[in-house]
Structure 1
Amino acid sequence: MKVGIIGTGLMGFPMAINIAKKFELKSFNRTFEKMKGLEKYKITLCNTLESLSKETDVIISMLPGDKEVIEIINQIKNFIKSGTVFVDMSSTKVSTANECYKILKEKNSNFIDAPVSGGPEGAKSGSLAIMAGGDKDAFLKVKNVLEAMGNPTLVGPNGSGQVSKLCNQIIVGVTIGAVAEAIILCEKNGADPNKFIAAVSGGFADGKILQNHGQRMIDKDFVARGKNITHLKDMNNILECASQKGIKLPISKLIQNMFKNLCDSGFENDDHCSLYKEISNLK
């Protein structure tokens, strides 16, 4: 099976390396220089989408957002061969996934929305949580490719992957806020937050966000792994999706406002664990 990947940034670059361990791979990035180094892994670097699409069975994209995904789909539809499965692993609106699905169906190709969770660390280790939406037959065709990057699950029909990612981001955002409050409460009352994390290890409050993001809060390490501006985009999409179904999500609305405040204050490119700063500064 021949695979192509579009988008070799912070996530796409290590994902490409893991795919290339098992499959023949071609890559494309709008900024060619960002692919430099991938050739060491026997990955073919392409200058055009047409050359990437030629004789390719599975095409994967990892792009910044809706605008870029729609642009790529509208360009590649002119080159993609019949039967190819296009897997978008970006985080987009559900409506974007639906539109892409319709565009490629008209070209006798298939589209799967398969956003991920796990960040750059998960991309490097090949342990990403992969939430897929689309036709079962198409998913089964690409499942072994997705398994090179992590743990794929078909959640439901087209759009279900993006819905699952929104649900994931609710839990991540709310939990980061809860961890920030816990760390601040420890610090302001003379308890050692490092020992607090050790004390609750294995209990109901334990988890990756407490262990990873909590430690960054203690260390005041806000170098971006997941940016505030990205999480704000996700919270906006969450509330839009909920509104379309007449659903109220009051906790998500609170977290959205906090991320908006951080971005408006010039911290849009800080890590989302800097929610700690927003809560610390509340009067």
Structure 2
Amino acid sequence: MTDSPSDHPVLALLGTGAMGFPMARRLCQAGFAVHVWNRTASKANGLTEYGAIVHPTAAEAAARAHILISMLENGQVVREVLFNQGVADAMRPGALWIDMASIAPTEAREHAQQLAVLGLRALDAPVSGGTVGAEQGTLSIMAGGSAADFAEAQIVFAPLGRSTHVGPAGSGQLAKVANQMIVGTTIGAVAEALILCAKGGADMGKVREALMGGFADSRILTLHGERMVQRDFAKRARMDVQLKDMRNAMSTAAELDCTLPIASLVEQLYGEAIAHGLAELDHSGLFVELAHRNGVE
């Protein structure tokens, strides 16, 4: 596949890991020509059966696209791929770069500014919804950048989930920081509440069931609370990624002279959980750290 239908721009997707792979698959199934690259090539090769073209370098994938999507690990990797591995130089004049990974807001703004100097456009559009959302096309996409670029990106966002334009460059990453602050803090609150009930002799599963539908209900209580009750901490979202996002929150707060005592404590707890050997658990595995502290099995 080399050309998309006339109303479909040619795409490149860089980073076909746990999130990028199902996103690329959905874009292929939606009729786009998709060029992909991943540092570990074997993680991209499975996309060929859906019509994607795998390239040995990121720059080669980028050179063929009108719109590029980044699902790379962090801001440092994004900068390396963009500016040191030749992606920015290889992009077509006026091409649109959409960074859908989670990086620091300042990094997103800096990348957008550098790309603008080269005559290129940028959106920071991180996502929430995890691998399930990526597979089902139900991601929440929070985008920063110009309204015109956001409007152009709708054709790409539609197969992936629900998108919202939240402000200028960097605003999408600010929204993702907010999302992860709420997720991490709520995981901690649900874990502590269920541990308290268990210590007092109540049935954790029944307590969770009783709370659902009331003011304490949330997707965290529903999904992550069930994982805690079942002791199912198979990795869906990584503990170290949650810690990275909490640290992004704290660095952003420092830049904005904003005090976040609750987020600071949650960041510390995730750091200690990872230091205690829990890095391979799902981020709901913060329950394990808190349970150990309370003598709960």
TM-score normalised per structure 1: 0.96
Cα distance between partner residues in 2 of 1:265 and 1:199: 32
Per mean C-alpha deviation after superposition, the further-off stretch among 255-264 and 191-200 is 191-200
Query: Which residue type is aligned with residue 105 of structure 1?
Result: A
Cα distance between partner residues in 1 of 2:277 and 2:183: 22
Query: Which residue type is aligned with residue 208 of structure 1?
Result: R
Query: Which residue type is aligned with residue 166 of structure 1?
Result: V
What are the Cα deviations for residues 233-266 of structure 1, in whole angstroms up to 9, with x where unaligned?
1111111111111111110011011001011112
Choose which of 15, 18, 37 in structure 2 pairs with 1:10. 18
Query: Which residue type is aligned with residue 18 of structure 1?
Result: R
Q: Aligned with 2:278: secondary structure?
A: coil
Q: Tell me what 1:162 maps to.
A: 173
Q: Tell me what 2:214 maps to.
A: 203
| Percent identical | 39
1:62 partnered with 2:76 = no
Q: C-alpha displacement at 1:25, in angstroms?
A: 1.1
Cα distance between partner residues in 1 of 2:36 and 2:248: 29
1:35 partnered with 2:50 = no
Cα distance between partner residues in 1 of 2:207 and 2:276: 30
1:271 partnered with 2:282 = yes
Q: Tell me what 1:245 maps to.
A: 256
Structure 2 regions of 5+ residues with no counterpart? 1-8
Q: C-alpha displacement at 1:43, in angstroms?
A: 1.1
Per mean C-alpha deviation after superposition, the further-off stretch among 6-15 and 267-276 is 267-276
Query: Which residue type is aligned with residue 272 of structure 2?
Result: N
**Misfit runs of 4+, over 4 Å:** none
Q: Aligned with 1:226: secondary structure?
A: coil
Cα distance between partner residues in 1 of 2:75 and 2:62: 21
Cα distance between partner residues in 2 of 1:268 and 1:175: 19
Alignment of 1:35-114 (within 5 A): 35-74=44-83, 75-114=86-125
Q: C-alpha displacement at 1:51, in angstroms?
A: 2.6
Cα distance between partner residues in 1 of 2:179 and 2:59: 34
Q: Tell me what 2:159 maps to.
A: 148
Cα distance between partner residues in 1 of 2:68 and 2:258: 35
Structure 1 regions of 5+ residues with no counterpart? none
Cα distance between partner residues in 2 of 1:219 and 1:133: 38
Q: C-alpha displacement at 1:7, in angstroms?
A: 0.4
Cα distance between partner residues in 2 of 1:127 and 1:5: 18
Q: Tell me what 2:4 maps to.
A: none
TM-score normalised per structure 2: 0.92
Query: Which residue type is aligned with residue 266 of structure 1?
Result: G
Q: Tell me what 1:225 maps to.
A: 236
Residues 100 and 125 of structure 2 are in contact (CA less than 8 Å); yes or no, is this contact kept in structure 1? yes
Residues 12 and 64 of structure 2 are in contact (CA less than 8 Å); yes or no, is this contact kept in structure 1? no
Q: Aligned with 1:81: secondary structure?
A: coil
Residues 10 and 66 of structure 2 are in contact (CA less than 8 Å); yes or no, is this contact kept in structure 1? yes
1:175 partnered with 2:175 = no
Q: Aligned with 1:78: secondary structure?
A: helix
Residues 101 and 125 of structure 2 are in contact (CA less than 8 Å); yes or no, is this contact kept in structure 1? yes
Cα distance between partner residues in 2 of 1:37 and 1:227: 23
Q: C-alpha displacement at 1:55, in angstroms?
A: 3.5
Measured on the aligned residues, the alpha-carbon RMSD in Å equals 1.2
Q: Tell me what 2:149 maps to.
A: 138
Residues 23 and 160 of structure 2 are in contact (CA less than 8 Å); yes or no, is this contact kept in structure 1? yes
Q: C-alpha displacement at 1:186, in angstroms?
A: 2.3
What are the Cα deviations for residues 85-142 of structure 1, in whole angstroms up to 9, with x where unaligned?
0001111111110111012111211011111111111111110111110111111111
